[in-house]
Structure 1
Amino acid sequence: MELKDLLLTPIYLAIFYGIAFSMRKKYTNALTKKYFIPALSLKFLGAIALGLIYQFYYGGGDTFNYHYHTKIIHQAFSDSFPLGWKIIMANGERLPEISRYTAGMFWWQPNNTEMFVVKIASIISLFCFNTYSIISLVFAAISFCGIWAMYITFVNLYPLAYKKIAIAVFFLPSVFFWGSGLGKDSLCIGALGWCFYGFYHVFIARKNIVQAGILGALGAYILISAKVYILLSFMPPALFWVFNENSSRIKSDLLRLSLKPLFIIAGAAIAFFGATNLTAGDERFDVEKIGERSRITQTYLTEYVASGSVYHIGKLDGSLASIVAVAPQAVIVSLFRPFLFEARNPVMLLSAMEATLFLWLTITLFYRTGLFKGLLLIARTPVLLFSFLFTIIFAIGVGVNSGNFGTLVRYKIPLMPFYLSALYIMQSMAQSRRRSKVSAQSNRARKVGRLAVTE
């Protein structure tokens, strides 16, 4: 960070807050209004804190690598706007006219997902004198727009739990810290929120279809460009969610039961088609190479990265069968680890506290409702089934590929709001049913009492 960060950041913050206050009324209601500014403020705090920790604690990192590339493109724009725009529109080609700029970019390669983030940051840099902290704040604002869309979607589905859903979406430290600064995670958590919002409004609620469709498509485009595996984890549960929501409109039980397997097969086919076509030829995500890539990634991260935070879930031999074998352990490590005694630094401690919260809520919830009743409640509530399916699929992916808690804490943030929101919704539904049962018993008692008096 530089002197201009200190001078310009307060000015731009005032502008951003002015815009936020002017837009709050349009995008909130009586229930959600009080969370709008605090949630945005946490995103801004996370963006600044991320930069400070990377600079003074880690001594560098990806967020500054993004800005390093942004500086080069910003200089190209300063020298010649057409040259700068040519870099933005290029896809890693070695073109003579821009080679003096691209030669210094170690991420300048075809289809490089890091360059997608760099290009967005470079466009933002034109409006803020290429100031790192302000670019980070804009990334935080983009992320906030997406998670606010996620929040109001959950609230529309289950308004009684609006307070606790706010905790799940806005106030988890890992989510607002890792998902706020200059980097992929900020864009992706926001894009996932837009996909969730778009899917619900276009295919289930069927309201605001044009706006929701545009936001959903934008979110899908960002995920394809930055982290396609998030979209691939989202699509199958989302398609099944659409079927479950709409199947209730089919009056015939026989027809509904007969169509269910067809929709499952169709959803799986669409997901497989999307996976194979979106990732074909990509060394990192190609479905045909996913087993071998997972083995290589796990081996690298286990042996070379943060040895004090390494975890082991079993041996991967490069086959899909080995991934299936370690899947249960991958889910457990993604949701409930690191345990408190495994924390080795302050960042891991925060993650361990969140994992402990997840474990405690999961155990107490299923203990109070009963395992069978809890699973039945999930199966009967489409949004809960979607949230848990997405969580499990995504947890397997990140649990298998991370290899150490340092990377896992960043990789798993997309699943955290969905899992915790689902737990809180289940908790609220269980409490509502208990209150209804107690109320019904009280009414019966009063009725019996009146009958006893009159007789």
Structure 2
Amino acid sequence: MEFKDLLLTPVYLIIIYGLAYWLRPKLTNKFTRKYFIPALTVKLIGAIGLGLIYQFYYGGGDTFNYFHHIKIMFAAFQESPYLWLKLMLSSGQFDNEIYKYSVRMEWYRSPTEFIVIKFGSFFSLLCFNTYTVIGLFFAFLSFTGMWQMYRTFLKLYPTLYKEFAIAVFFLPSVFFWGSGLMKDSLTIGFLGWLFYGFYQGLIEKRNIFKSAVIILVAAYLIYSIKVYILLSFLPPALFWIFLENQRKIKNPGIRMLAKPFFIIAGLAMAYLGATRLTEGDARYDIDKIGERSKINAIYLTKQVATGSAYDIGIFDGSLSSMLTVGPQAIVVSLYRPFIWEVRNPVMLLSAIEASIFIFLTLRFFYRTGFIKTLKFIGSKPILIFCFVFSLVLAFGVGTNSGNFGTLVRYKIPLMPFYMAGLYIMQAHAKRPKKLSRLAVTA
């Protein structure tokens, strides 16, 4: 960070808050209005805090590696906007005109990192290439998607505006790791837009063209940055859509006859989405994902010298062995680190959140019973989606991380959905007759 960060950050904070206060009447109602500015504020605090933690606690890291590349892009713009545009449109190929810049960029041929650099480079033109302000722009962009995620949940359960605000905005790991100049800020924001697009276009069947554009753009960007999130989202989302449409058939006889069709069709679409989405991709092809997970887990575990590594058991890279360690992978993603496993302040935040997840989950199972809880989840399509998505992603990141330091970032996309699912179940247990699936203009 430089002196211009101290000088320009307050100025851009005023601009961002001015924009937020202008947008708030258009995006809120009398119940959600009070959460809009606080939700944005924690995102902005997260963006600034992430930079400070990486600079003064970790002494560097990915966020500053991204900024290093952005500075190179900015230098290209200063020489010629044409060269900058060529870099922005590049897919990592050799080009003699931009070679003197691309050769200095370690991630030039790494598409998942380079797209983050492109976003950062665009924002850098708006703020004189200032690291902290770029982080604020990432936080604001992420916030737009998360607010749409929040509004979508409220369309399903309008009375849970406080609970959903906690689940979506105020989990410390989510607003800290999901803000600032990192991949995670973009992916969780685009995930919110994708969730919104799916519900509006494919369940409400409103603004079909607009929703289709949102779905395609958000899905493409998630695919380009962290494809495993899309791979985890798509199957349960498609299944959710089929279940919701099946429920809308008014005739009981036709609905009963159609139910097996919708279940089979939903599972088939989910399978095709999971297998065809990454077919031929050496990193995430379904036939290679087991071996890849093994390599990642072993590598990351060996790299950790701070005591934050975890062990989910031995697996040889095959899908069958991954299924064997799957339950432990899910437990470590959702419910660990335990309090006694904490080794540093960052782990403490994650441990507190994991403890809350454990408490809420066990309390509901205790009060309702294991079988009744499973039946209840099976009766609510949104709960099926929330928990299946959470479990699938928990399985994936739990087998790939190898240590709590990386796990805490990898798992943040599932946390709002898992927490929202717990709050929905809790609300039904407390006041089942008062809850109704009413649309709300949020």
Shorter-chain TM-score tier? over 0.9
**2:99 match:** 99
* Unaligned stretches of 5+ residues in structure 1: 437-455
The answer to which structure, 1 or 2, has the higher relative contact order (CA under 8 A, 6+ apart) is: 2
Q: Residue 246 of structure 2 contacts residue 262 of structure 2 at CA under 8 Å; is this kept in 1?
A: no
**1:297 match:** 296
Secondary structure class of the residue paired with 1:130: coil
**What do the CA deviations read for 1:233-274 (whole angstroms, capped 9, x no partner)?**
111111111111111222455544444444344334434434
Q: Residue 102 of structure 1 contacts residue 108 of structure 1 at CA under 8 Å; is this kept in 2?
A: yes
Q: Residue 234 of structure 2 contacts residue 274 of structure 2 at CA under 8 Å; is this kept in 1?
A: no
Matched, 1:406 2:408: no
**What do the CA deviations read for 1:162-211 (whole angstroms, capped 9, x no partner)?**
11111111100000000001011000000110111011111111233343
**1:391 match:** 390
**1:16 match:** 16
Change in Cα spacing, 1:159 to 1:323, as seen in structure 2 (3 Å) is same
Indicate the larger mover: 261-270 or 371-380. 261-270
Matched, 1:346 2:341: no
**Matches of 1:407 and 1:114, distance apart in 2:** 16
Change in Cα spacing, 1:229 to 1:94, as seen in structure 2 (3 Å) is same
Q: Report the CA distance between 1:275 and its aligned residue.
A: 3.9
**2:78 match:** 78
Q: Report the CA distance between 1:281 and its aligned residue.
A: 3.5
Change in Cα spacing, 1:68 to 1:172, as seen in structure 2 (3 Å) is same
Q: Report the CA distance between 1:213 and its aligned residue.
A: 3.0
Q: Report the CA distance between 1:302 and its aligned residue.
A: 1.2
**Matches of 2:374 and 2:295, distance apart in 1:** 36
Change in Cα spacing, 1:264 to 1:315, as seen in structure 2 (3 Å) is farther
**1:189 match:** 188
Indicate the larger mover: 207-216 or 344-353. 207-216
Change in Cα spacing, 1:270 to 1:381, as seen in structure 2 (3 Å) is closer
**Matches of 2:305 and 2:49, distance apart in 1:** 21
**Matches of 1:144 and 1:86, distance apart in 2:** 29
Matched residue type, 1:430: A
Indicate the larger mover: 258-267 or 318-327. 258-267
Indicate the larger mover: 162-171 or 427-436. 427-436
Give the share of equivalent positions with the same residue, in percent. 59
Which is richer in helix?
1
Q: Report the CA distance between 1:382 and its aligned residue.
A: 1.1
**Matches of 1:98 and 1:316, distance apart in 2:** 45
Give the 5 Å matches for 1:244-259. 244-253=243-252, 255-259=254-258
Matched residue type, 1:117: V
Matched, 1:371 2:370: yes
**2:210 match:** 211
Q: Residue 242 of structure 2 contacts residue 266 of structure 2 at CA under 8 Å; is this kept in 1?
A: no
Q: Residue 194 of structure 1 contacts residue 218 of structure 1 at CA under 8 Å; is this kept in 2?
A: no
Q: Report the CA distance between 1:73 and its aligned residue.
A: 0.7
Q: Residue 306 of structure 1 contacts residue 406 of structure 1 at CA under 8 Å; is this kept in 2?
A: no
Give the 5 Å matches for 1:140-289. 140-253=139-252, 255-289=254-288
**Matches of 1:180 and 1:410, distance apart in 2:** 11
Q: Residue 239 of structure 2 contacts residue 270 of structure 2 at CA under 8 Å; is this kept in 1?
A: no
Matched, 1:26 2:13: no
Aligned length: 435
**What do the CA deviations read for 1:373-403 (whole angstroms, capped 9, x no partner)?**
2222211111111101111111100111111
Matched residue type, 1:26: K
Q: Residue 160 of structure 1 contacts residue 428 of structure 1 at CA under 8 Å; is this kept in 2?
A: no
* Unaligned stretches of 5+ residues in structure 2: 436-442
**Matches of 1:176 and 1:271, distance apart in 2:** 30
Q: Report the CA distance between 1:318 and its aligned residue.
A: 1.4
**Matches of 2:433 and 2:194, distance apart in 1:** 34
Q: Residue 46 of structure 1 contacts residue 176 of structure 1 at CA under 8 Å; is this kept in 2?
A: yes
Matched residue type, 2:137: V
Runs ≥4 residues deviating over 6 A = none
Indicate the larger mover: 269-278 or 182-191. 269-278
**Matches of 1:434 and 1:313, distance apart in 2:** 42
Q: Report the CA distance between 1:278 and its aligned residue.
A: 3.5
**1:441 match:** none
**2:56 match:** 56
**2:312 match:** 313
With normalisation by structure 2, the TM-score equals: 0.95
Higher CA-based Rg:
1
**What do the CA deviations read for 1:203-230 (whole angstroms, capped 9, x no partner)?**
1112333433332222112101101111
Change in Cα spacing, 1:301 to 1:254, as seen in structure 2 (3 Å) is farther
Matched residue type, 2:416: P
**Matches of 2:108 and 2:265, distance apart in 1:** 38
